[in-house]
């Protein structure tokens, strides 16, 4: 699918992403925590490029990331890290997001992050929660300040129909 964006839309998406991820990077450096997960960069794309999409709404962003992370950590604890573990964890995470209507595609990569880094539960879950909540807060302020888009469309709206 090819989509054409106006230059102003591109500029605001770039600006929002720069502000959000630079802020998260700053917080990570000051707190010396894992505040900046790779999957959050993909979340920023959705939130700043397609802020009105169901997959970009706070409920899907936060709960999608959290549920995928919990499932991945549980799979790592149960199975260790066999070659098939990341596939099972990712599949279960996607299935859970579908069941709970909290679809957020970037969260699908959280299992890979967990299986590659093998983090402590508390550290990873706190980082996941903190980074997604901070990203949402920054996006709300940015969108309301620039008045380019209504974000969020609904705080508790499901990510899929």
Determine, yes or no, domain membership for 158. no
**How many Å apart are CA 141 and CA 100, to the nearest integer?**
27
Closest C-alpha to 111, from 95, 135, 88? 88
pLDDT average, residue stretch 78-107? 97
**Domain carrying residue 54:** 7-146
**How many Å apart are CA 36 and CA 44, to the nearest integer?**
11
- The 10s digit of each residue's pLDDT in 50-83 is 999 999 999 999 999 999 999 999 999 999 999 9
Both structure tokens of 6: 């106006």
Q: How many domains does the chain have?
A: 1
Query: Torsions phi, psi of 64, nearest 5?
Result: -60, -50
- The answer to whether 62 and 136 are in contact (CB under 8 A) is yes
Determine, yes or no, domain membership for 1. no
- Rounded to 5°, the CA angle 11-17-19 comes to 100
pLDDT value at position 3?
A: 81
List all residues 6 or more positions away from 114 whose beta carbon is below 8 Å from its beta carbon. Answer: 69, 72, 73, 76, 89, 124
pLDDT value at position 155?
A: 79
Determine, yes or no, domain membership for 85. yes
- The answer to whether 121 and 128 are in contact (CB under 8 A) is no
pLDDT average, residue stretch 113-133? 92
pLDDT value at position 113?
A: 93
């Amino acid at each position: 699918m090819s989509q054409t964006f106006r230059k102003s839309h591109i500029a605001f998406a770039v600006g929002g992403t720069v502000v959000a991820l630079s802020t998260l990077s700053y917080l990570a450096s000051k707190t010396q925590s894992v505040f900046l997960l790779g999957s959050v960069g993909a979340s920023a794309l959705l939130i700043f490029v397609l802020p009105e999409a169901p997959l970009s709404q706070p409920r899907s962003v936060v709960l999608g990331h959290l549920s995928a992370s919990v499932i991945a950590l549980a799979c790592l604890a149960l199975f260790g890290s066999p070659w098939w573990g990341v596939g099972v964890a990712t599949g279960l995470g996607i299935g859970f997001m579908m069941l709970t209507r909290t679809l957020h595609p970037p969260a699908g990569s959280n299992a890979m992050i967990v299986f590659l880094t093998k983090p402590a539960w508390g550290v990873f879950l706190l980082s996941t929660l903190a980074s997604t909540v901070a990203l949402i807060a920054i996006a709300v302020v940015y969108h309301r300040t620039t008045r380019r888009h209504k974000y969020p469309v609904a705080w508790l709206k499901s990510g899929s129909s």
